[in-house]
Structure 1
Amino acid sequence: MGGAAVAIVIVVVILAVIIGLVAWAIAAYNGLVQLRNRVGNGWAQIDVQLKQRADLIPNLVETVKGYAAHESGVLTQVTAARAGAMAAAANPGATIAQRAAAENQLSRALVNLTATAEAYPQLQANQNFMNLQNQLQALEQKIAFARQFYNDVVMKYNTRIETVPSNIIAGLFHFTQAQYFAADEASRAVPQVRF
């Protein structure tokens, strides 16, 4: 085999390695983009469910107000928590953690509203209240599922950013970790039950 043939083989091997590296880099980049877009889609799904819940709350508060008007503290708490959640949703600079904190506060206020409503049997028998409460329960289940989906995708995305060799591409193209939608400290506390 002559020197020219060896040179051609070396050039072919080098080209094959370069093509392989470029193909890998493209596949790694596309995979990261796909996961980043899934994270965005997961958050959008949560956002839709949270908006539906926020839209349902005024009707629920008005229904409860008709039966439990003297429970103004609870009604004010729900209204204020809803306003905080809506403000966080409208703020384009709000982080996932800030949105989660506002939504968790709203969830706690809704639990208090439901507990208060249980003290009024005539309210419990009201068909409108029952329909609103069922819609709220269905939305809470959808929100829980959407949060779980979102956090699962965030975990995959963050893992891909941190693991070798895709972390090289992530660093070169400035992929940053996504935030989990986590419960706040008050939501983690075990409720005190006393008899």
Structure 2
Amino acid sequence: MQALKSLPLATIYLALLLGLLLFAVIMIGRQVMQTRKTESTIARLQTKIREGSGSVEEYFELGSIYLMKKLPGQAVGQFQKAIKLIEADEEIPPESAPIYNALGFAFFNQDQFDMAIRQYKEALERQPTYVTALNNLGHVYEKKNLTSQALETYEKSLEQDPKNSTANRRIKVLKRRLVPTSPTS
């Protein structure tokens, strides 16, 4: 009689364990497929670039993948090559702003804050309403403890996108830092 009562509990336990294992296999399989796809893209882009037929978009894509893989040094090189191709043209298009922004982000990830600032400003020169570059510039100002510049930059970002949650959140934090706290009696 006791064996019959524990049978459903054991079945439920086994089913849960199998379900958990199936979930883990699916998640690992998805990760493996994503990694294969990324590595295949890297190989394809590197081949094109080695052949000398890489485009601005391909350098940008490869740099972005390197950033995603936490290789900012390699990303910098790819973004700089993309910018060289852009600058070879007579007229620099505003669509180049994301490349300058990404280069700034790569420098930021290497703690090269002054270089990051320069690149974010380049992005904003090409596209003054580029909210992501404004947020990134505000962030690097914060890292350098330039609170008033960070606050001003986040406010510019809000002018472009009043619902910008990043800028709203950072402004609140920065304003709290600027308000001196009174000692409790």
Q: TM-score normalized by structure 2?
A: 0.39
| Greater C-alpha radius of gyration | 1
Where relative contact order (Cα < 8 A, 6+ residues apart) is larger, the structure is 1
